[in-house]
C-alpha cells in the first residue's frame, strides 16, 4: 500500500511538471517564430539569392530553426509522456504485482545461474596467459522455464518501457521523470522488452519473437509517405509501439535536416514570404494593390455621391460567399 501511494505521488508530480514545461515550451516556440524566425525570413527574401549575405544568413537561420525543431520534438515527447502518465495513474494497483513478478523472475534467474555454475564445477580461477581471472557467465532467458521465456507483453509494460526510454534520452531534463523511471523500471524486464520492440531505424529489418508460435518474422519500419511493398510482411503497430518509435526517432534527431527544410517551406507559405524570389505571391500582391486603389477611389467617389465597381478581391469574396450560401442551402435540403 505504501508503495502504491509513493508511485501515485511520483506519477502526479511528473505529470504536473511535464504539463508545465509543455505549456511554457509551446508559448516560447510561438514567440520565437514571430519575433525572430519570421523577421529573418523576410529580411532574407529582400536579398539576392546568389549573394554571400543570403547564404550566410540562410545558414544562420537553419541553425536557429534546427534548435527550434529539437525543442519542438522534445515538447512532442513530453506530450506523449503526459498521456502515458494517465495510463500509469489508472494502473497504480497493477505495478505492485508486476514488481513482485519481476522479483520472482530475477530469483529464478539467479538460481538457474547458480546451478549452471555448480554444474561446471567451481569457478576456474588462477594465472593464465592473460593474467588472473575468473569465469562467470550470466544465465540467459532461454534457460528459464517456458512460461517465463516468452512472457506476453501487455500495454502497461510497454508504457513503462516508453517512459524509461524517453528518460534515458532526456537525461536530467525533468528530475521528476528520472525518479519515476528509476522506480518503475524494476517492474519490467527492460532488455527483453527492447529486444521485442519494433525497429526504429529507417529501413531496419528486425527479428521479432512471438509467444504462441516461436518463429522469426522480418518486418520493416513504415516511413511517412513511403509506399509499402506488398510482397513484404507488414508490422501493424499498436499505439504504445507507435509512441515508442516516435519517441526514439524524435529524441535521436532523425531526419532533422528534412524537418528544417519543411519548417522553412511551411513558414514561408503561411506568412507569404517569397524566400527565393520566385514570384509566388506577385498575383496576390497585385490584388492587394487593386484593393487599396479601389478603396481610395471609392472613398473619393463617396464624396461626390458616386461609387466605383467592386475590385477583383471583392468580387472573389462575393463569389465565395455565394458558393457558401448555396452549399448551406443544399445541406439543409438533404
Provide the residue ranges of all domains of the chain, joining segments of one domain with +: 2-120+139-198+237-267, 281-333
Is the confidence at residue 134, as pLDDT, over 90?
no
More confident position, 184 or 294? 184
As to burial, measured by CB atoms within 10 angstroms (0-12 exposed, 13-18 middle, 19+ buried), residue 33 is middle
| Cα–chain center distance at 226 | 18
Q: Helix, strand, coil: what percent of the chain each, to 5?
A: 65, 5, 30
Measured CA to CA in angstroms, residue 125 lies from 13, 34, 118, 122, 228 at distances of 50, 68, 14, 9, 55
CATH superfamily of 2-120+139-198+237-267: Vacuolar protein sorting-associated protein Ist1 (1.20.1260.60)
Selection from 28-37, 198-207, 221-230 with the highest mean pLDDT: 28-37
pTM of whole model > 0.85?
no
Give the pLDDT mean for 200-216: 52
Q: Considering all CA atoms of the chain, what is the largest pairwise distance in Å, rounded to the nearest integer? A: 113
- Within a 13 Å sphere around the CA of 332, how many CA atoms are in the beta-carbon half? 5
Per DSSP, the residues of 66-130 read HHHHHHHHHHHHHHHHHHHHHHHHTTHHHHHHHHHHHHHHHHHHHHHHHHHHHHT-SPP-B--TT
| Confidence band for 216, pLDDT divided at 50, 70 and 90 | very low
CA 210 – CA 27 distance, rounded (Å): 44
- 260-285 pLDDT, tens digit per residue, is 999 999 999 999 999 998 888 876 65
Measured CA to CA in angstroms, residue 189 lies from 177, 192, 195, 217 at distances of 19, 5, 10, 22
- 37-81 pLDDT, tens digit per residue, is 999 999 999 999 999 999 999 999 999 999 999 999 999 999 999
- 228-254 pLDDT, tens digit per residue, is 444 444 557 899 999 999 999 999 999
Amino acid at each position: 500500500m505504501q508503495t502504491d501511494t509513493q508511485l501515485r505521488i511520483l506519477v502526479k508530480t511528473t505529470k504536473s511538471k511535464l504539463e508545465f514545461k509543455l505549456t511554457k515550451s509551446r508559448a516560447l516556440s510561438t514567440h520565437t517564430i514571430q519575433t525572430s524566425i519570421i523577421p529573418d525570413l523576410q529580411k532574407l527574401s529582400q536579398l539576392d539569392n546568389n549573394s554571400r549575405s543570403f547564404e550566410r544568413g540562410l545558414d544562420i537561420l537553419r541553425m536557429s530553426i534546427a534548435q527550434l525543431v529539437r525543442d519542438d520534438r522534445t515538447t512532442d515527447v513530453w506530450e506523449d509522456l503526459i498521456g502515458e502518465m494517465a495510463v500509469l495513474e489508472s494502473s497504480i494497483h497493477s505495478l505492485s504485482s508486476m514488481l513482485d513478478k519481476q522479483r520472482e523472475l530475477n530469483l529464478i534467474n539467479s538460481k538457474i545461474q547458480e546451478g549452471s555454475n555448480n554444474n561446471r564445477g567451481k569457478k576456474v580461477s588462477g594465472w593464465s596467459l592473460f593474467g588472473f581471472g575468473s569465469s562467470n557467465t550470466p544465465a540467459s532467458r532461454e534457460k528459464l522455464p517456458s512460461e517465463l521465456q516468452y512472457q506476453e507483453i501487455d500495454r502497461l509494460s510497454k508504457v513503462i518501457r516508453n517512459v524509461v526510454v524517453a528518460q534515458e534520452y532526456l537525461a536530467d531534463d525533468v528530475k521528476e521523470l528520472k525518479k519515476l523511471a528509476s522506480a518503475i523500471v524494476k517492474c519490467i524486464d527492460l532488455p527483453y522488452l527492447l529486444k521485442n520492440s519494433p525497429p526504429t531505424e529507417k529501413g531496419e529489418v528486425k527479428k521479432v519473437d512471438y509467444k504462441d508460435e516461436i518463429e522469426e518474422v522480418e518486418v520493416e519500419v513504415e516511413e511517412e509517405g513511403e509506399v509499402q511493398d506488398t510482397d513484404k510482411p507488414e508490422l501493424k503497430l499498436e499505439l504504445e509501439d507507435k509512441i515508442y518509435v516516435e519517441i526514439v526517432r524524435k529524441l535521436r534527431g532523425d531526419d532533422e535536416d528534412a524537418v528544417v527544410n519543411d519548417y522553412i517551406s511551411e513558414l514561408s507559405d503561411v506568412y507569404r514570404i517569397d524566400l527565393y524570389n520566385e514570384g509566388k505571391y506577385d498575383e496576390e500582391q497585385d490584388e492587394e494593390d487593386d484593393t487599396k486603389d479601389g478603396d481610395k477611389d471609392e472613398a473619393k467617389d463617396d464624396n461626390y455621391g458616386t461609387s466605383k465597381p467592386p475590385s477583383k478581391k471583392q468580387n472573389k469574396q462575393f463569389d465565395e460567399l455565394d458558393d457558401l450560401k448555396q452549399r448551406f442551402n443544399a445541406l439543409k435540403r438533404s
